[in-house]
Amino acid sequence: MASILSYVPIVNRLVPNTGRTRTIDIPPVEVHNVETAAEKRPRTLKHLLKANHVNHAILYHNLEFHNHMPHILGSAYLLGADVQQLHKIYDAEAQELESWEPSPAEITQDDWKDFLGDPRYQRAYVDFFEDALALRHNYQWKGVVEEYLYEGKEPLVNCLFGGLGHPLIHLGYAYELDSREIGIEALGMAATQYNFLHKYIDDPSYSKPSPIKSSSPLELFHKLANDHRLDGAFKESGAENIEPLFREHEDIVLEYWNAWTLDDPVKDFQLSQEAAVDVVIATVPPGTHSYNFYTCHILTTSHAVRILLPFVRPEHRINLVRQWWLFAIAVYIAVLRPKIDPDNIGSGDGGKTQWDHVEDKALNGPYSTDAHFVKVVRAIKEAARTWGDVHERYLNAAVRFADDFQGWAFS
């Protein structure tokens, strides 16, 4: 039987921050050190992660798609997948991945920032960070992350949402599984997916008072859905709208970005996680099964932020959440601002259906090898664990998603 403490939201088990730095202090999730575990299940995960690291590039399909192997293996493992299920996932995911290709040139300590944002250098970046792991940090991968994530006036930590946030997601699994392979891959992804979004954090002039007044991300999503200035901005839904959005409507994006001021950082982050669930689940009217592939990244990146906040340097935590909010606004507009209706989640069945049903769907259902499906389930469950779920709002959302999902909608 679970202890009484297991029913207490983990944010209620911490000592308040008394330091001067304005930050977000929440307890860390449990770290699963698969590198040193003796049991067969974690050893299996370790071997599969290493196999993926050796055999499969982090970017593929014309360097446009991201290797999700650590994401789905990690999510399934943390949901309780057994050895056979982990092998099944690996075999299914590996079918579409590609082998490493040589980069145009090697990368050195003197020029490593010169190739940021160029996916052709994925192999070179991974080699560079692995060399640093061996030669500079005595195989302590977190030391490599500390050096290269925070270095310089425009550090990588200020641009983890390139490539739909996959560098951030990757880094979250590195910390949660204490995996040096995933950690090195995450740095490689951050380097190759580096893009224009960094300037909104690096340049403080973009942060300024907003004419929009609001207290929560969900309220701002509602206002954004009804902002007629964006009517007809894009003909079709899709991530390809994100860059044109910033070129043509940057002023509107920044109004909404700056409207959320995080005056109460922990509470505000909690509200952002609630909004992230709603934007994925509550935008889907009953009977449509139209769960949007791109909005799911708003939730999975929010989950990654939750994982990483306790591990990120305190002075960068607020900006990490602000990176998420900028990304969330951009994605929501790019998919044509679907209406968020809480009634679409429903009120559940009075608690008859519990998390074991949702977990079974994630591990044994027809979409158990769909990385994004499994990640969404894991993200909602961790949010419930972090903040508590007295009214079973998270549970109802997870049940609705697990039972109703029939594949991703891309438009």
pLDDT at 179 over 50: yes
pLDDT at 94 over 50: yes
**pLDDT at site 11:** 54
Express each pLDDT in 129-158 by its tens digit.
999 999 999 999 999 999 999 999 999 999
The residue-averaged pLDDT of 202-208 equals 97
Q: How confident is the model at residue 21 (pLDDT cuts 50, 70, 90)?
A: low
The residue-averaged pLDDT of 365-370 equals 98
First vs last C-alpha separation in the chain: 45
- How far is it, in rounded angstroms, from Cα 315 to Cα 119? 29
**pLDDT at site 16:** 41
Task: Give the three-class secondary structure for 362.
Answer: helix
**pLDDT at site 17:** 41
**pLDDT at site 272:** 98
Q: How confident is the model at residue 9 (pLDDT cuts 50, 70, 90)?
A: low
Express each pLDDT in 42-72 by its tens digit.
999 999 999 999 999 999 999 999 999 999 9
Mean pLDDT lowest among 6-10, 100-104, 171-175, 391-395: 6-10
- Residues 170, 71: contact at Cβ < 8 Å? yes
DSSP string, 130-180: HHHHHHTSTT-HHHHHHHHHS-SSS-GGG---TGGGHHHHHHHHHHHHT-H
**pLDDT at site 352:** 80
Run of H or E including 277:
helix 265-281
Express each pLDDT in 305-345 by its tens digit.
999 999 999 999 999 999 999 999 999 999 999 999 999 99
Express each pLDDT in 263-309 by its tens digit.
999 999 999 999 999 999 999 999 999 999 999 999 999 999 999 99
Q: What is the average pLDDT score of the chain? A: 94
pLDDT at 166 over 50: yes
| Amino acid (one-letter) located at 44 | T
Q: Rounded to the nearest 10 degrees, what angle do helices 296-308 and 265-281 cross at?
A: 150
Q: How confident is the model at residue 346 (pLDDT cuts 50, 70, 90)?
A: confident
> Percentage of the chain surpassing pLDDT 70?
95
